[in-house]
Amino acid sequence: MKNRRAQLLTAILTYLIGSLLFAFWMYHSTYKDHLQTIDEKLHVAAHATAKLLGDEYHAGLKDKTSISKNKEQETILLLNDFVSDINVVYLYSLIMENGKILFASSSQTVEEFAKKETVYFDPYDDADQAIFDAFETGKEQFAEYKDQWGEFRSIFLPLTATDGRKYVVGADISISEVKALAVKSTLKTLLAWLFLSLIVLPLVWNYIKSIRRETELEINRLYHDPLTGLPNRYKLIEDLKHSKHPKLAVMSFDKFHEVNAAYGFAVGDQILQRFAQRLLDLSHPQIKSHTVYRLHGDTFAFLIDESISYNDLKRVLLKFTDDITANFYIGAKQINLSLTIGAVTHVSDPLELAEMAFHEAEKSNQPIVTYDNEILLPDAYRQNLQEVTELKAALQENRLVPYYMPILNIKTGAVAKFECLARITDDKGNIISMPDDFLPIAYRAKLYRQITRTVLNHAIEKIRETGYTISVNISTTDINDPRTSQFLYRRIKATGVGEKIELEILETEQVSDYKTTRYFLNQLKSLGCRIGIDDLGRDYSNYERLINLPFDFIKVDHTIIQHIEKNPDADHLIKALVKLAKKNGMETVAEYCANEEIFAIIRNLGFDYAQGYCIGKPASIPQTENIVNIKKASA
Helix H, strand E, coil C: the string for 313-354 is: HHHHHHHHHHHHCCCEEECCEEECCCEEEEEECCCCCHHHHH
Dist CA 77 CA 64 (whole Å): 18
Q: What is the pLDDT of residue 630?
A: 53
Dist CA 535 CA 261 (whole Å): 13
Task: Give mean pLDDT, residues 128-151.
Answer: 85
What percent of the chain has a predicted confidence (pLDDT) above 70? 82
Instruction: Evaluate if residue 527 carries a pLDDT over 90.
Output: yes
**CA angle at residue 559 from 553 to 562, to 5 degrees?**
100
Q: What is the pLDDT of residue 54?
A: 82
pLDDT digits (tens, 9 = 90+) for 49-66: 888 888 788 887 777 778
Contacts of 507 (CB under 8 A, 6+ apart): 533, 534, 535, 536, 537, 538, 539, 540, 545, 557
Task: Give mean pLDDT, residues 344-348.
Answer: 75
Instruction: Evaluate if residue 137 carries a pLDDT over 90.
Output: yes
Task: Give mean pLDDT, residues 551-572.
Answer: 80
Q: Which amino acid is at 386?
A: Q
Task: Quickly count: other Cβ atoms within 10 Å of residue 343's Cβ.
Answer: 28
Model confidence at 109, pLDDT cuts 50, 70, 90, reads confident
Instruction: Evaluate if residue 127 carries a pLDDT over 50.
Output: yes
Task: Give mean pLDDT, residues 359-375.
Answer: 79
Q: What is the pLDDT of residue 631?
A: 46
Dihedral of alpha carbons 74, 77, 81, 83, sign: positive
Model confidence at 475, pLDDT cuts 50, 70, 90, reads confident
Burial class of residue 601 in the structure, from the number of CB atoms within 10 Å of its CB (0-12 exposed, 13-18 middle, 19+ buried): middle
Region of poorest pLDDT, from 176-180, 298-302, 593-597, 618-622 = 176-180
pLDDT digits (tens, 9 = 90+) for 434-447: 888 888 888 777 78
DSSP 381-401: HHHHHHHHHHHHHHHHTT-EE
Mean per-residue pLDDT of the chain: 81
pLDDT digits (tens, 9 = 90+) for 67-77: 888 888 888 88
pLDDT digits (tens, 9 = 90+) for 206-244: 766 777 677 677 777 778 888 888 998 888 988 988 888
**Nearest alpha-carbon partner for 343 in 324, 327, 366:** 366
The answer to whether 269 and 227 have CB atoms below 8 angstroms apart is yes
Dihedral of alpha carbons 208, 209, 214, 217, sign: positive
In this structure, what is the dihedral angle of CA atoms 347, 348, 349, 351, given to the nearest 10 degrees?
0
Which has more confidence, 301 or 115? 301
Task: Quickly count: other Cβ atoms within 10 Å of residue 133's Cβ.
Answer: 15
Model confidence at 339, pLDDT cuts 50, 70, 90, reads confident
Task: Give mean pLDDT, residues 496-515.
Answer: 82
Q: What is the pLDDT of residue 226?
A: 85
The answer to whether 610 and 602 have CB atoms below 8 angstroms apart is yes
Q: What is the pLDDT of residue 221?
A: 75
DSSP-derived letter for residue 64 is G
User: How many angstroms separate the Cα of 29 from the Cα of each of 15, 24, 150, 200, 432?
Assistant: 20, 9, 22, 26, 53
Task: Give mean pLDDT, residues 178-186.
Answer: 66
3-state SS, residue 161: coil
* Strand pairing class (150-160; 141-147): antiparallel
Contacts of 520 (CB under 8 A, 6+ apart): 479, 485, 489
Contacts of 120 (CB under 8 A, 6+ apart): 64, 67, 72, 103, 104, 105
The answer to whether 489 and 498 have CB atoms below 8 angstroms apart is no
Instruction: Evaluate if residue 132 carries a pLDDT over 60.
Output: yes
DSSP 178-192: HHHHHHHHHHHHHHH
DSSP 202-260: HHHHHHHHHHHHHHHHHHHHHHB-TTT--B-HHHHHHHHHT-SSEEEEEEEETTTHHHH
Dist CA 165 CA 381 (whole Å): 29
3-state SS, residue 152: strand
**Nearest alpha-carbon partner for 454 in 420, 418, 495:** 420
Burial class of residue 201 in the structure, from the number of CB atoms within 10 Å of its CB (0-12 exposed, 13-18 middle, 19+ buried): exposed
Dist CA 304 CA 373 (whole Å): 17
The answer to whether 246 and 350 have CB atoms below 8 angstroms apart is yes
pLDDT digits (tens, 9 = 90+) for 566-625: 777 777 778 888 888 888 899 999 988 888 888 998 899 899 999 998 899 999 888 776
Model confidence at 635, pLDDT cuts 50, 70, 90, reads very low
Q: N- to C-terminal Cα distance for the chain? A: 102
Model confidence at 406, pLDDT cuts 50, 70, 90, reads very high
Instruction: Evaluate if residue 1 carries a pLDDT over 50.
Output: no
Task: Give mean pLDDT, residues 86-101.
Answer: 88
Dist CA 581 CA 606 (whole Å): 11
Model confidence at 285, pLDDT cuts 50, 70, 90, reads confident
Instruction: Evaluate if residue 257 carries a pLDDT over 60.
Output: yes
Task: Give mean pLDDT, residues 27-37.
Answer: 74
Model confidence at 148, pLDDT cuts 50, 70, 90, reads low
3-state SS, residue 451: helix
Region of poorest pLDDT, from 26-30, 97-101, 388-392 = 26-30
Find the helix packing angle between 69-86 and 2-53, rounded to 10°.
140
Region of poorest pLDDT, from 140-154, 243-257, 425-439 = 140-154
User: How many angstroms separate the Cα of 50 from the Cα of each of 43, 167, 176, 322, 444?
Assistant: 11, 10, 26, 48, 20
Task: Sketch out the chain's domains with CATH numbers.
Answer: 2-18+189-223 (no CATH), 27-178 (3.30.450.20), 233-375 (3.30.70.270), 399-634 (3.20.20.450)
Region of poorest pLDDT, from 357-366, 371-380, 414-423, 528-537 = 371-380
Instruction: Evaluate if residue 288 carries a pLDDT over 90.
Output: no
